[in-house]
Amino acid sequence: MTQTYDVAVIGAGMAGASLAAELAPHASVLIAEAEDRPGYHATGRSAAFWEECYGGPDVVPLTLASGPYLREHGMLAPRGALYIGRPEDEPKIDAFMQRFAGSGASIERLGRPALERRIRGLRSEWRHAVHEPACADIDVAALHQHYLTRAHEAGVELRCRARLETAEREGEVWRLSFGRAGEARASVLVDAAGAWADPVAEIARARALGIQPLRRTVAQLRTAPPPPADLPLVLDISGAFYFKPEHGKLWLSPHDETPSPPCDAAPEELDLALAIDRFEHVVDWRIEAVEHKWAGLRSFAPDRLPVYGYDAQVAGFFWFAGQGGFGIQTAPAAARLGTELLLGLPHNSVTEALEPALYSPTRFG
Ligand SMILES: Cc1cc2nc3c(=O)[nH]c(=O)nc-3n(C[C@H](O)[C@H](O)[C@H](O)COP(=O)(O)OP(=O)(O)OC[C@H]3O[C@@H](n4cnc5c(N)ncnc54)[C@H](O)[C@@H]3O)c2cc1C
C-alpha cells in the first residue's frame, strides 16, 4: 500500500535534513534522496566556514540567527577571517565596510602591521584588510548528522536511492513516484534538491525559477611552512581566492563560479592551476603537494538570495532551494523559517529578526 505523509522532502543534503528535523514534531515526513547516502553533493563538499558577511547583507540575518544554535550544539570553532587587498583594492575595502555597516556583522579595518602578524610570509603588496573576528569553522558532517539523527528520532523516514521521477497532484495530495524505490503520497512536496531544484520543480509542473548551479573548486595542499593552526580564513577582497588551514594542511579555492548543469561535479585542472598561481602571489610559502581536490555545485536564484516558501501557482509545492555558498552556515535559521512558512506557525526567537518576503518565491512574479 502507498504510504501517505504530510510532507515529502526531496533531497537529503543540509537543506532537506535540517528542514525535516524541524518539521518532524509537527508533521509526518518522508525524505527522498536520489543517491546511496545523504550529503553526497554540495553538503559533503563545502569549505566549512561560518562567515558573517558571506552571501551579502540580506543573507547576514540568516547567518547571525543561526549562530546561537550552532554554538549551543558545539558546531563552531573560532577561526577569524581577513578579506585582504592591495593598494589598488582600497576602494573595495571601503565599499565592503560601508556595505556591511549596520548589518550586525562585526567588522573592522586592519592595516599592514596587523596583517603581517596574522599571515606570516604575506607578500608586501597586500596592505589592507577587513577583519571579521567572529568567523568560525563549522563541523559540517556533525551538523548534517545532527539533523538526520534528530529527524530519525522524531519518526522521519529517509529513503535513499529514491529519485523523484513523477509528481501528480490529485486533489489535495501529491502522488509521487521514485522508480524502483516505490511511491508515496504527501500533502506538501518540498523541493530541497540543491542543484536539481529547477528540474524537480518541472517534474511537479511548477515554473523553474532560474536556479543556476555554479561550480566551486577546493584543493588540499601540503605547504612549507605548513599553515599555522591559528591562521584565519583569508579571502581576496576582489573574490579571486580564499584559503584556510585544516589539520596542518591548507584548503585553497580560486573562488570559481563556472555555470554547470546539475551533475556530480569534478575539479578542472585549469581552476586548480589558477588557484595555485593566485596563492603564490599572496604568500611566499612553497607548495609541496596537491593532496586532494574536489568541486561542488553552489546553486543560486537570479538575485542570489535563497528561496523559501510556497510556489505562487502550484498548490502544495514548497521551495527550499538556492542556498548558494551559505547553506551550511544559515541552516538552523533557514530550517526554522521554512517550518514556520510551511505550517503557518508564528515566528520564534530564532526567526523574529528575519524578513521572509526577501526569500519568497513569489518575488520572481
Ligand atoms: C566547494 C564548496 C564550498 C562551500 N563552502 C561553504 C561554506 O563554507 N559555508 C556554507 O555555509 N556553505 C558552503 N557551501 C554551500 C553549501 O555546501 C550548500 O549551500 C549546501 O550544501 C546546499 O545544501 P542542499 O541540501 O541544498 O544541497 P545538496 O547537498 O546538493 O543536496 C541536494 C540533494 O538533493 C538530491 N536530489 C536531487 N534531485 C533529486 C531527485 N529528483 N530525487 C531525490 N533526490 C534528489 C541530491 O542527490 C542531493 O543529495 C559550499 C559549497 C561548495 C560546493
Q: In this predicted model, what pLDDT tens digit does every residue of 44-56 receive, in sequence order? A: 999 999 999 999 9
Q: Residues 153-172: pLDDT tens digits?
A: 999 999 999 999 999 999 99
Nearest CA to ligand 1 atom 19: 327
Q: Is 178 in the pocket of ligand 1 (CB under 6 A)?
A: no
| Distance (Å, whole) CA 255 – CA 275 | 8
Exposure of 278 in the CB half-sphere (CA atoms within 13 A): 22
CA of 86 to the centre of ligand 1 (A): 33
**What is the pLDDT at residue 1?**
76
Q: Is 218 in the pocket of ligand 1 (CB under 6 A)?
A: yes
What letter does residue 283 receive in the DSSP assignment? B
Q: To test the ligand 1 pocket, which listed residue (14, 18, 30, 46) has its Cβ within 8 A of the most ligand atoms?
A: 46
Nearest CA to ligand 1 atom 18: 327
Q: Is 135 in the pocket of ligand 1 (CB under 6 A)?
A: no
Angle, in degrees to the nearest 10, between helices 331-343 and 14-23: 50
Pairing of strands 4-10, 183-191: parallel
Nearest CA to ligand 1 atom 25: 13
Q: Residues 327-341: pLDDT tens digits?
A: 999 999 999 999 999
108 near 82, Cβ under 8 Å?
no
| Distance (Å, whole) CA 118 – CA 232 | 7
Q: Is 213 in the pocket of ligand 1 (CB under 6 A)?
A: no
| Distance (Å, whole) CA 248 – CA 229 | 7
Ligand 1 atom with the smallest distance to the CA of 193 is 34
Which amino acid does the sequence have at 351? T
Q: Please, which pLDDT band fits residue 146 given cuts at 50, 70 and 90?
A: very high
Q: Which residue stretches of 53-139 are H helix?
A: 60-72, 90-100, 112-118
Q: How far is CA 142 from CA 43, 64, 148, 360, in A?
A: 11, 20, 10, 29
Q: Residues 262-271: pLDDT tens digits?
A: 999 999 999 9
Cell representation of residue 287: 607548495
In total, the chain counts a number of residues equal to 365
